[in-house]
């Protein structure tokens, strides 16, 4: 048994190492793609501040994440019918939806680059415009492929690519923050680190918090009065709602620009150009998206219909609740309350740094305001990595134990 344990540990570390290397290679490819300019865009010091808005992978994960949001909405509408769809047909339909979303966002982005005088559009039928449109759409599909590779062969999940994009915008602001506030000593820096650690501990504590719904599991209980529990986490998705909200926010912005061009509406163009994820209006819109998406994730992660059906088939029941549809309605009511509480917590975690930034004016820019959401997303990557690590260990231990 000692030899098997050592051998399992060796194989676990080998796969973990290969997954880390694979993830680093994918991140490298993604970063290179973010610095390949579109046709007609010059890479100079002035444009470095706006990249990846003028690069091959400028669309980032937004089209793919928006596709997943819409697909999940369709899936939640009729889960039973969705299970009958073949994997090949599912892939084709998702790819078609991704193409449509990437096309719309690419046109909106090119129009914005034209408004900023970075990439003037002489004609929407010009070779430059059509070439850049194809480049952006191709970049969206490449990003989707890289994200899927990380899920299959990497570590940490596809959230890494979104995290990289968002954290790139934080670095200049952190540099300015440190040079502005901590040049005289380490006291303020120590307080900041301690506050950050406490904030992370609160996030971890809330993530592990569960609400238990008691029910009788007749076929497995040793006594008739013995309960089993359905565990439901308060914030099961951690930073995923923030990640999806940012993607949907970006997509909405570019759709607004596209509609403004189509209908020659200068008011809509002005609003779409000036709304920013770091502005007060943008922050409010982002918080609404986080709240709504968090509730959606709660219902997506817990299939109350399947739970109610399984309980009815197994003879299990909740006290004073009829089986079948009555049980499903009971679960839906409890899940809705927990989803609203969890969504409020996610919004609170996101909004606290915003309030601190506005009260203490820590930065000239408000980018630090989304730090709470970014921490949630980093915690999601950490949790996914730990889950993959445990799965790898169990896989090799199980394989060697059965040789």
- Segments forming the whole domain that contains residue 93: 2-401
Confidence of residue 24 (pLDDT cuts 50, 70, 90): very high
Coil/strand/helix, residue 217? coil
pLDDT of amino acid 48: 42
Most confident of 46-50, 94-98, 251-255: 94-98
pLDDT score of 365 more than 80 = no
228 neighbors 317 (Cβ within 8 angstroms):
no
Q: Of 16, 30, 55, whose CA–CA distance to 144 is shortest?
A: 30
Tell me the HSE value of 21 on the side-chain side, using a 13 A CA sphere: 6
pLDDT score of 205 more than 80 = yes
pLDDT of amino acid 98: 93
Q: What stretch of H or E contains 230?
A: strand 227-233
Pairwise CA distance, residues 334 & 342, whole Å:
12
pLDDT score of 231 more than 50 = yes
Contacts of 357 (CB under 8 A, 6+ apart): 363, 366, 368, 369
pLDDT of amino acid 42: 66
> Six-digit token pair at 313?
């088939």
Contacts of 128 (CB under 8 A, 6+ apart): 39, 40, 119, 121, 122
Higher pLDDT, 181 or 392: 392
Q: What is the mean pLDDT of the chain?
A: 78
99 neighbors 137 (Cβ within 8 angstroms):
yes
Q: Could you tell me the CATH number of the domain that includes residue 136?
A: 1.10.3370.10
Higher pLDDT, 240 or 400: 240
Angle between helices 266-274 and 240-262 (to 10 degrees): 150
pLDDT of amino acid 30: 92
The pLDDT tens digits of the residues spanning 288-323 come to 998 999 998 888 878 888 888 888 888 888 888 888
pLDDT score of 52 more than 60 = no
Pairwise CA distance, residues 54 & 255, whole Å:
17
Confidence of residue 26 (pLDDT cuts 50, 70, 90): very high
Pairwise CA distance, residues 176 & 178, whole Å:
6
Please state the domain count of the chain: 1
Confidence of residue 108 (pLDDT cuts 50, 70, 90): confident
pLDDT of amino acid 382: 80
Confidence of residue 1 (pLDDT cuts 50, 70, 90): very low
118 neighbors 50 (Cβ within 8 angstroms):
yes
Q: Of 180, 203, 199, whose CA–CA distance to 360 is shortest?
A: 180
**Cα torsion through 74, 206, 160, 244, rounded to 10:** 30
**Can you give the pTM of this predicted structure?**
0.77
Q: Report CA torsion sign: 210, 213, 216, 219.
A: negative
CA distances in angstroms from 143 to 31, 52, 148, 162, 385, listed in the order given = 11, 13, 9, 10, 20
Tell me 199's DSSP state: H
Pairwise CA distance, residues 22 & 152, whole Å:
10
pLDDT score of 402 more than 80 = no
């Amino acid at each position: 048994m000692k030899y098997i344990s050592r051998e399992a540990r060796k194989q676990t570390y080998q796969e973990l190492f290969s997954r880390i290397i694979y993830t680093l290679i994918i991140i490298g490819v993604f970063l290179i793609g973010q610095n390949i300019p579109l046709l007609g865009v010059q890479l100079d010091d002035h444009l470095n501040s706006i990249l990846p808005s003028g690069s091959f992978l400028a669309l980032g994960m937004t089209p793919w994440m928006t596709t997943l949001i819409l697909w999940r909405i369709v899936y939640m509408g009729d889960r039973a019918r969705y299970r009958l769809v073949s994997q090949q047909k599912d892939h084709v339909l998702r790819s078609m939806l991704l193409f449509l979303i990437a096309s719309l966002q690419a046109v909106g982005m090119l129009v914005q680059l034209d408004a900023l005088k970075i990439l003037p559009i002489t004609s929407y039928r010009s070779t430059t415009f059509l070439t850049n449109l194809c480049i952006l759409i191709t970049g969206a599909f490449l990003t989707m492929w890289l994200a899927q590779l990380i899920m299959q062969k990497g570590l940490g999940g596809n959230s890494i690519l979104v995290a990289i994009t968002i954290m790139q915008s934080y670095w200049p602001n952190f540099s300015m923050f440190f040079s502005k506030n901590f040049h005289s000593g380490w006291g303020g820096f120590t307080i900041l680190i301690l506050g950050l650690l406490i904030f992370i501990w609160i996030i971890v504590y809330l993530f592990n918090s569960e609400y238990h719904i008691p029910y009788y599991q007749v076929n497995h209980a040793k006594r008739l009065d013995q309960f089993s529990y359905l565990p439901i986490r308060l914030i099961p998705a951690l930073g995923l709602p923030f990640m999806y909200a940012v993607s949907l926010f970006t997509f909405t912005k570019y759709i607004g620009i596209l509609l403004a061009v189509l209908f020659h509406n200068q008011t809509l163009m002005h609003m779409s150009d000036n709304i920013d994820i770091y502005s007060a209006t943008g922050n409010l819109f982002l918080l609404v998206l986080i709240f709504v998406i968090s509730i959606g994730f709660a219902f997506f992660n817990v299939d109350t219909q399947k739970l109610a059906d399984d309980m009815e088939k197994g003879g299990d029941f909740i006290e004073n609740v009829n089986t079948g549809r009555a049980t499903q309605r009971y679960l839906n009511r409890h899940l809705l309350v927990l989803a609203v509480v969890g969504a409020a917590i996610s919004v609170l975690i996101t909004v606290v740094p915003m309030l601190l930034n506005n009260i203490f004016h820590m930065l000239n820019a408000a980018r630090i305001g989304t730090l709470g959401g970014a921490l949630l997303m980093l915690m999601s990557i950490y949790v996914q990595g730990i889950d993959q690590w445990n799965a790898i260990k169990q896989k090799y231990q199980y394989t060697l134990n059965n040789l």
